[in-house]
Amino acid sequence: MKQNKNGIWTSWNENLTYKYESLYKITSEQELQEIVKKSEKIRVFGNKQSSADIASGAATLIDIRTYNKILSFNDADLTITVQSGVILGDLLEAIEEKGWCIPCLPDINTITIGGALATGTHGTSGKLLSEYIKSCKLILADGSLKEVSDKDELIDAVRVSLGVLGVLSEITFKCEPIYTLHIKEGPEDDKVWLPKIEKRLKKHDFLRILWLPHTDKGYVITGDKIAPNTEIKEDLGPKYLKHRRTASKILYKYTHVFPWITAIANKLLYRGFFSSTKEHKGSLYQATVTKSRGSTLELAEWTIGLDIFPTVFEELKTEINKWSNKSFIHIPMDIRFVYKDQSWLSYAYKKDTVTMGCVSRNAATADTYEAFKSIEKIFIKHGGKPHWAKRFIAKDAELSKVYEKWDDFKLLRKKLDPTNKFLNPYLTEIFNEKTTN
């Protein structure tokens, strides 16, 4: 165990900073239990890539990234057990070597497993990553160890817990046999792709839409399972496509001063980087997950029922296209699809859901990015839910209206953590708790 004292914690995009008294790097479950037990206020962090103020702000911090072992495989059950600090990419590479997969993956592989699970991380055309938990070990506020399996009633609260029920220690994932996807990508007018969503969800094994605000275009990505040896004519588009993030950085550089530039920049980015088609194949991980990030971002994401998404989309589009509105939005708005589940704080609790991302390429000026306010206002109006790891201002009053099990979760949280050990100032507001020193 290593300990640093009286330092400064900074998020990946440098938008959040906190002083801490003690920061620990641990390698064993026993060390994790010991630190949790003796701490009055504690939070755990990984690669610090959340846009929400969820990972720090406590006197004691644990950097979970050194608690990162792949512990075991069960070939008969297709399960893998890992420590909660393992990086998603390492886990996925390990199971691909076994010929397995987790069939719904986010667009980034550098996040730690514990944080990804706690915040409801998801991919598209499947369920939340946490729905593939077979069992897990949870370090409770008193330092004791609780094992939870997918047969326990508690699992529906634990799958998406924001790290306030306890600290995830070891997780066993249920995997599936690996498969190959035939991916096709290309632009479509909004009036074409929007009415086809439900039909495409039934037809394809993978569907993702990158909406290009202020262009009336979407970039549609579909995937269909094929035999691994199926021959396709691979087309990865022009070589210059790899420079999209660099071009975006240049074009958006002054949009915080002159927001209207965004509409022009988006049209240029569409013509340069989203007007061609692609075709390729690979595993879900190899074909659809970004392996690097060219720059830091600030992100919001909202979710809404599949049945009312077209209505919400049209309202949002109308709002941001008003020249009287300063909510000019950077490319792309990532539209994905999550299937219903039973997890209490899941975006897809009992309902098939559409998720819609909103990105600011200028992380340092995100507080003045009007788009975050506009998208939240519209989604809240229609009963939308925010992504727990991303930026939003809604608190207990709003969240209690959209999460059916919100009060049940709050009661359970208070039972498991009566002194609010796992709450930082941000989470104290989220759950409308009194500050405890």
The CATH number covering residue 320 comes to 3.40.462.10
Per-residue pLDDT at 290: 81
Mean pLDDT value of segment 343-369: 92
Per the prediction, the chain carries an average pLDDT of: 94
d(CA 67, CA 186): 41
Mean pLDDT value of segment 416-428: 97
Q: Same domain for 209 and 168? A: no
Task: Identify the domain boundary among 162, 177, 192.
Answer: 177
Q: Which domain holds residue 99?
A: 67-177
Per-residue pLDDT at 88: 96
Statement: residue 378 has pLDDT above 80: yes
Statement: residue 436 has pLDDT above 60: no
Q: What's the pTM?
A: 0.95
Q: Minimal CA–CA distance to 279: which of 221, 201, 335?
A: 221
Give 73-104 pLDDT, tens digit per residue: 999 999 999 999 999 999 999 999 999 999 99
Residue 224 burial (C-beta neighbours within 10 Å; 0-12, 13-18, 19+): middle
- Cα of first residue to Cα of last residue in the chain, in angstroms, is 26
Phi-psi region of 376 (alpha: psi -120 to 50; beta: other; left: phi over 0): alpha
Statement: residue 294 has pLDDT above 70: no
Whether residue 435 is contained in a domain is answered as no
Statement: residue 325 has pLDDT above 90: no
Per-residue pLDDT at 293: 62
Give 109-119 pLDDT, tens digit per residue: 999 999 999 99
* Long-range contacts from 233-241, C-beta under 8 angstroms, 24+ separation: 233/279, 234/279, 234/280, 234/281, 235/277, 235/278, 235/279, 235/280, 236/278, 236/280, 237/276, 237/277, 237/278, 238/276, 240/272, 241/273, 241/276
Alpha carbon separation from 71 to 84, 87, 171, 193, 210 (Å, rounded): 11, 14, 10, 44, 37
* Long-range contacts from 413-417, C-beta under 8 angstroms, 24+ separation: 413/164, 413/165, 416/140, 416/141, 416/165, 416/166, 417/140, 417/141, 417/164, 417/165, 417/166
Question: 407 in helix, strand or coil?
Answer: helix
Q: Minimal CA–CA distance to 44: which of 147, 149, 144, 138?
A: 138
Question: 271 in helix, strand or coil?
Answer: helix
d(CA 437, CA 16): 22
Per-residue pLDDT at 367: 83
Per-residue pLDDT at 359: 92
Whether residue 102 is contained in a domain is answered as yes
Q: Provide the CA 322 distance to its chain's centre, in angstroms.
A: 29
Per-residue pLDDT at 326: 82
Give 123-137 pLDDT, tens digit per residue: 999 999 999 999 999
Q: Same domain for 206 and 258? A: yes
Residue 154 belongs to domain with CATH number: 3.30.465.10
Task: Identify the domain boundary among 177, 196, 214.
Answer: 177
Give 17-56 pLDDT, tens digit per residue: 999 999 999 999 999 999 999 999 999 999 888 888 998 9
Residue type, 165: L
In which residue are the tokens 């999460």 written? 403
Q: Same domain for 349 and 338? A: yes
Question: 148 in helix, strand or coil?
Answer: strand
Whether residue 19 is contained in a domain is answered as no
Q: Same domain for 172 and 218? A: no
Q: Same domain for 172 and 186? A: no
Statement: residue 266 has pLDDT above 90: yes
Q: Same domain for 252 and 215? A: yes
What is the percent of the chain with per-residue pLDDT over 70, rounded to a whole number? 98
Q: Are 371 and 309 in contact (CB under 8 A)?
A: no
d(CA 277, CA 189): 14
Mean pLDDT value of segment 299-323: 95
Whether residue 382 is contained in a domain is answered as yes
Give 194-239 pLDDT, tens digit per residue: 999 999 999 999 999 999 999 999 999 999 999 999 999 999 988 8
What is the percent of the chain with per-residue pLDDT over 90, rounded to a whole number? 84
Whether residue 33 is contained in a domain is answered as no
Q: Same domain for 143 and 192? A: no
Per-residue pLDDT at 437: 46
Mean pLDDT value of segment 60-71: 98
The sheet carrying 2-10 orders its strands as 2-10, 17-25, 60-63, 42-45
Q: Are 375 and 385 in contact (CB under 8 A)?
A: no
Question: 315 in helix, strand or coil?
Answer: helix
Per-residue pLDDT at 149: 98
Q: Are 245 and 238 in contact (CB under 8 A)?
A: no
Q: Same domain for 220 and 248? A: yes
Given pLDDT bands bounded at 50, 70 and 90, which one contains residue 296? low
Q: Same domain for 329 and 290? A: yes
- The number of residues in the chain equals 437
Give 150-191 pLDDT, tens digit per residue: 999 999 999 999 999 999 999 999 999 999 999 999 999 999
